[in-house]
């Protein structure tokens, strides 16, 4: 569905390019919820923007490309970087970060729906007919059609988020990208939003890509996930494997720091900070924080490669074999 083909991007600054995405290469499949996790500033949002083709100066593509392809209504489609925006809403849509503040607070929701739905989908309908379809869709999502007459300022943050998700999925896009969809919402509302996304994915049988720094979100709803660190994808696989059998030292420490029911051991964060993207260390970027770092790690960048079917990671220790690797990493707290 989405192929990210050796993509590298950078921001142009007066001090020179700042490389935010480094040779990221993976695929996102049809009919799955794919998660992208990592600390703030690791490049998750930039990657999501690139997937949605929002590549505008000072962000530039240095190399590689994205390919969005699939089938809709019995017809094949294929778009590359620079063309994907031609199919916004229809084949791909985007729920941005802090989506609750995207809606114009003083314009009734019905007008915002009418303005957002592309002309091509209105099929020579009258406004009333389009609104009738929107009202029916809201009902399908267990939302009241009366919302269409409301102003965004009258709604809670959670309800605005639901409306944005309804807007983004109204045209049954093949891919929905959601950036931190539960941020700034209380736990109960978060759960409702996650359930809504899962239900929608099952109904549309499409692809959802969820960016979140919250590992709990990935655990609850994603089928597969990728872990990013300092602009690179460092591990990718089925979500259950990432949580139960993490490979990369960073993932191992990240998962090890999560609280678990019944586990009374004291949890600590990962010591140190991610490197500044303006001046990253040579070799593996995790080396300054990695308890397993060797001299080789400080000099050469580990390759992101498949270590078993569908399981990818970038770490020099992998050269010593998958099983040995798992045993060794058990020592990392
Ligand atoms: Fe640690 Fe070396 Fe693996 Fe990087 S390559 S994660 S420094 S062991």
pLDDT tens digit string along 241-265?
Answer: 999 999 999 999 999 888 777 777 7
Tokens of 86: 């031609």
**Is 292 part of any domain?**
yes
Average pLDDT of the chain?
A: 89
| pLDDT on residue 268 | 76
Instruction: Tell me the C-alpha to C-alpha distance, in Å, between residue 174 and each of 168, 177, 281, 282.
Output: 11, 10, 39, 39
Q: DSSP string covering 255-272, please?
A: HHTS--TT--SPP---SS
**Is 204 part of any domain?**
no
Pocket-testing residue among 281, 294, 301, 302, ligand 1, by greatest number of atoms within 8 A of Cβ: 302
**Is 307 part of any domain?**
yes
Share of the chain above pLDDT 70, in %: 94
Is the predicted pLDDT of residue 10 greater than 90, yes or no?
Answer: yes
* Chain centroid, CA 236 distance in Å: 13
**Is 296 part of any domain?**
yes
Mean pLDDT of 173-181: 94
Instruction: Tell me the C-alpha to C-alpha distance, in Å, between residue 11 and each of 19, 53, 157, 268.
Output: 7, 15, 32, 33
CA of 95 to the centre of ligand 1 (A): 34
Share of the chain above pLDDT 90, in %: 69
Query: Which atom of ligand 1 is found nearest the CA of 302?
Result: 5
**Is 301 part of any domain?**
yes
CA of 28 to the centre of ligand 1 (A): 26
**Is 18 part of any domain?**
no
CA of 22 to the centre of ligand 1 (A): 17
Provide the domain count of the chain.
1
- For ligand 1, is residue 316 a contact (CB within 6 Å)? yes
Mean pLDDT of 20-31: 96
| pLDDT on residue 144 | 94
**Is 281 part of any domain?**
yes
Query: Which atom of ligand 1 is found nearest the CA of 284?
Result: 4
Is the predicted pLDDT of residue 330 greater than 60, yes or no?
Answer: no
- For ligand 1, is residue 290 a contact (CB within 6 Å)? yes
**Is 225 part of any domain?**
no
Nearest to 197 by CA among 53, 88, 179, 155: 179
| pLDDT on residue 199 | 93
| pLDDT on residue 326 | 56
| pLDDT on residue 103 | 87
* Residue 333: pLDDT band with limits 50, 70, 90: very low
| pLDDT on residue 261 | 75
Q: Whose CA is nearest to atom 5 of ligand 1?
A: 315
Cβ neighbours of residue 101 under 8 Å, at least 6 residues apart? none
- For ligand 1, is residue 227 a contact (CB within 6 Å)? no
pLDDT digits (tens, 9 = 90+) for 70-128: 998 889 999 999 999 999 989 999 998 876 678 888 999 999 999 888 776 767 788 99
Residue ranges making up the domain that contains 275: 248-260+268-329
For tokens 């109204």, what's the residue? 170
pTM: 0.92
Is the predicted pLDDT of residue 148 greater than 50, yes or no?
Answer: yes
3-class state of residue 219 by DSSP: helix
Between residues 29 and 15, the one the model is more confident about: 29
């Amino acid at each position: 569905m989405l192929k990210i083909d050796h993509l590298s991007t950078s921001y142009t600054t007066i001090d020179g390019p700042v490389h935010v995405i480094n040779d990221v290469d993976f695929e996102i499949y049809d009919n799955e919820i794919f998660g992208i996790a990592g600390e703030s500033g690791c490049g998750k949002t930039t990657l999501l923007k690139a997937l949605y083709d929002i590549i505008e100066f000072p962000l530039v593509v240095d190399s590689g490309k994205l390919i969005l392809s699939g089938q809709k209504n019995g017809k094949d489609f294929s778009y590359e970087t620079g063309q994907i925006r031609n199919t916004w809403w229809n084949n791909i849509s985007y729920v941005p970060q802090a989506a609750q503040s995207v809606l114009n607070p003083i314009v009734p929701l019905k007008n915002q729906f009418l303005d957002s739905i592309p002309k091509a989908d209105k099929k020579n309908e009258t406004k009333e007919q389009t609104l009738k379809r929107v009202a029916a869709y809201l009902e399908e999502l267990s939302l009241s059609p009366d919302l269409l007459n409301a102003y965004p300022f009258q709604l809670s943050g959670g309800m605005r988020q639901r409306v944005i998700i309804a807007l983004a999925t109204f045209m049954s896009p093949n891919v929905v990208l959601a950036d931190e969809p539960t941020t700034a919402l209380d736990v109960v509302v978060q759960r409702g939003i996650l359930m809504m996304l899962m239900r929608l994915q099952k109904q549309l049988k499409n692809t959802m890509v969820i960016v979140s720094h919250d590992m709990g979100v990935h655990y609850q709803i994603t089928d597969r996930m990728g872990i990013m660190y300092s602009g690179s994808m460092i591990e990718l696989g089925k979500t259950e494997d990432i949580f139960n059998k993490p490979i990369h030292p960073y993932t191992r420490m990240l998962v090890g720091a999560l609280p678990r029911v019944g586990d009374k051991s004291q949890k600590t964060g990962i010591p140190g900070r991610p490197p500044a993207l303006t001046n990253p260390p040579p070799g593996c970027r995790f080396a300054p924080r990695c308890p397993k770092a060797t001299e080789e790690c400080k000099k050469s960048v580990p390759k992101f490669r498949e270590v078993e079917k569908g399981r990818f990671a970038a770490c020099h220790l992998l050269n010593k074999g998958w099983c040995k690797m798992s045993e060794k990493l058990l020592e990392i707290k």
